[in-house]
Structure 1
Amino acid sequence: MKSQTIRRWSAIHTWTSLICTLFLLMLALTGLPLIFHHQIDHLLGNAPQFKAMPADAPRLNLDQLIKAAEAHRPGEAMQYFAWEEDEPNGVMAIMAATPGTEPNSSHTFMLDARTGEALEMPSANGGFMMVMLRLHVDMYAGLPGKLLLAFMGLMFVLAIVSGIVLYAPFMRRLPFATVRPEKSTRIRWLDLHNLIGAVTLSWALVVGLTGVINACADLLITSWRNDSLAAMIAPYRDAPPLTQRAQAADLLKLAETAAPGMQADFIAFPGTLLSSEHHYAVFMKGASQLTSHLLTPVLIDASNLKLTAVVERPWYMDALGLSQPLHFGDYGGLPMQILWAALDVLTILVLGSGLYLWWVRRRVKA
């Protein structure tokens, strides 16, 4: 009975690994430069270059920044404004032909918060880093590509669990980290495969599970829109279309009053995926390393700048907010990025050695 159980787990490990290995190799290779995307942008000269100005230089208000963005891309609609901690003088702007245009067809650039000057961000609109991101996120296939990668992530998690089950009896026969140099090449690679797999076990599970959550982001956001957001904007269901927005100079102050102790992470303009046809959605973040990734949307009526609601944040949106930075090692600065990259390379070795072992075993059987 015991040998039959091991054979079943061995079959599960073999086939789940084979199904997902090529996709995971692609994800591991494309994920490696994405871990260091900020550093690569600076190295390639793609990062916006801000003018040197006094530290106390006054900043434009939100309404002035909106006008500067619209002057840079006339005829296009504002979709999002975002702030980044490593660009204190910049505001990221995203615009497109219509507010509801899908993200891959939008245009991203940076505004100097002191002057309103528009600074292009080549890597956000094309080039090497964008190719790596699209391959890693959806393989240029949109939602079907994301769901396929989510399925491959689940296969990866099942392959890890089955590998643990198979490695347990192996550990009882040999001390941990044993590599038998006197054995055949196949046995040495099997020992290395098991050793590196054990070393990367926890990381691989974290990256695999967060990858599945990230791949389902579109479905989670749609669920949030149909649940929490829909309940908040129900009184506007029969309202006439928004024809003119109120001046937004005080928008951030209103959001900070509604969510005390928090600061704005990004603004979704009316008509976008993360707002409604009649509202600004100001997504507020906490001050700690953890709460800075847990965003609370504040809905403000775009016609008169009156607070509509502070939208409930369901558990699955919290999971998504925590998964995105954890997946790419964005929590601990450069040391964590280096650790993530090293574990990524080791995972590539595990995947490659697994393919080699399967191929050699197949030839031996033949």
Structure 2
Amino acid sequence: MLSPTALRRWSWTHKWSSLVCTVFMLLLCLTGLPLIFHHEIGHLLGTEVEAPAMPAHTPRASLDQVLTAAHALHPERVVQFASQPEDDDALWFVTLTPTPAPTQDFKSIAVDARTAAVLSERPVNEGFMYVMFRLHVDLFAGLAGKLFLGFMGLLLLVAIVTGVVLYAPFMRKLAFGEVRRERSARVKWLDLHNLLGIVTLVWALVVGATGMINTWADLMIKYWQHDQLSTLLKPYEGQPVVPVAERGPLQQSLQAAQALAPGMKLSFIAFPGTAFSSPHHNTFFLRGETPLTSRLLQPVLVDARTAQVTAAPQLPWYLTALLVSQPLHFGDYGGMPMKILWALLDIATVVVLGSGLYLWLKKGAQAASPAVPAAGSARGGFAGEAPLPAPGATRSTEGAA
């Protein structure tokens, strides 16, 4: 059993870690809710692109034809990436940017993989879902915004762990899940807050931890390039980015990459000089076909001039953890049932966060009122504190009664 001094320390840590991150966690929960159903919302809004129906064995156009068709719409730009949806290999999405460097100024062109016909130029930097995504990922602040949200995620984990430690002494006189409806509104909200907090505990830990990992993605990729790719690129040291005019056939490069890893499907291609490649390679990221391996990527570096495979390094553990955490964060593993479960848990967490903030503000109002004694005054300090299992710290002389 914790001593009164230890309890005060745990309570102080829980209180301030909760209060600092609560508003931002509310924002992330609210913006994350539509992102869980981004495909479904895209269909409703008419922004999802689908390839026209054709016989299953219709021949595919070459990758060179696909990129030429997309590039013709914006010849002043460079092709940065090309990707295929996991559930539809009849489509290519080609990303065009002003330079190969990372940027938010990009165009996404949908091209039919069989006819090389342009199907759509998707608006990728406007609309409701774009705003939700940017607020959720980086607050429109780039890497600084990501790292800030990552720190808020860390505080969330601290709040959860400290809340769990404090939950047992708080509940020692109450049945699990009890909500004292006969008491004041504040006590009822306190009990509901604690109940939902402990019910959503595991989910909040998973989503908080995976979200925090996702905010480190840019740094992880840069470290991987510095730590592993730099060794593989020693033979190319000092050479500039391969000019487009000197690059070999892309279809030949694709076939060389796929031949190295039969049974795997293409996820996306990063072209020379871009963030996921080197100045000298077309880098093909291949994925498996099972629910788990479809989330794991195998990079294959193909010399942009000769179309010969140079290397196929295994991703380090930290990038594997990143890839696994991304779909788990949004509940993408189990189809619609898991998405619905994720949405319900998200809504419950919004209630936990909102009620915790309400209880803290209510306590402050009571403490400021001369008609209401300050919390703890009637019980000599910590005996009247009500620890919480999840963000939204509050203390209550009623809660421990």
| Greater helix share, structure number | 1
Post-superposition CA distance 1:178-229 (Å, at most 9, x none): 1111111111111100100011000000000001111111111111111111
Aligned to 2:211: 211
Measured after TM superposition, the shift of residue 240 of structure 1 is 4.8
Aligned to 1:185: 185
Aligned to 2:396: none
For the residues of structure 2 that align with 1:120 and 1:141, how far apart are their CA atoms? 29
Aligned to 2:306: 304
What is the aligned residue count?
365
The 5 A counterparts of 1:287-326 are 287-326=289-328
Residue segments in structure 2 that go unaligned for 5+ positions in a row: 369-401
The 5 A counterparts of 1:276-287 are 276-287=278-289
Measured after TM superposition, the shift of residue 286 of structure 1 is 1.7
Post-superposition CA distance 1:62-97 (Å, at most 9, x none): 121121121222221111111112333211111111
Residue segments in structure 1 that go unaligned for 5+ positions in a row: none
Aligned to 2:364: 362
Aligned to 1:15: 16
Aligned to 2:398: none
| Secondary structure in 2 matching 1:284 | strand
Larger Rg belongs to: 2
Measured after TM superposition, the shift of residue 131 of structure 1 is 0.6
Paired residue type of 1:171: M
Comparing 248-257 with 10-19, greater Cα deviation is found at 248-257
TM-score, length-scaled by structure 1: 0.96
**Alignment of 1:250 onto 2:247:** no
Paired residue type of 1:152: M
Query: What is the RMSD of the two structures over their aligned residues, measured on CA atoms?
Result: 1.4
Paired residue type of 1:182: E
Aligned to 2:37: 36
Measured after TM superposition, the shift of residue 311 of structure 1 is 1.8
Post-superposition CA distance 1:274-330 (Å, at most 9, x none): 001110110111221111111111101000011110123111100110111111111
Determine which of 250, 269, 272 is the counterpart of 1:270. Answer: 272
| Secondary structure in 1 matching 2:167 | helix
The 5 A counterparts of 1:99-248 are 99-102=100-103, 104-120=104-120, 122-243=122-243, 244-248=246-250
Paired residue type of 1:137: V
For the residues of structure 2 that align with 1:230 and 1:292, how far apart are their CA atoms? 27
- Tell me if the contact between 1:61 and 1:249 (Cα under 8 Å) persists in the aligned partners: yes
Measured after TM superposition, the shift of residue 109 of structure 1 is 2.2
- Tell me if the contact between 2:107 and 2:122 (Cα under 8 Å) persists in the aligned partners: no
Paired residue type of 1:185: A
Paired residue type of 1:141: A
Measured after TM superposition, the shift of residue 121 of structure 1 is 5.1
| Secondary structure in 2 matching 1:274 | coil
Paired residue type of 2:38: H
| Secondary structure in 1 matching 2:81 | strand
Paired residue type of 2:235: P
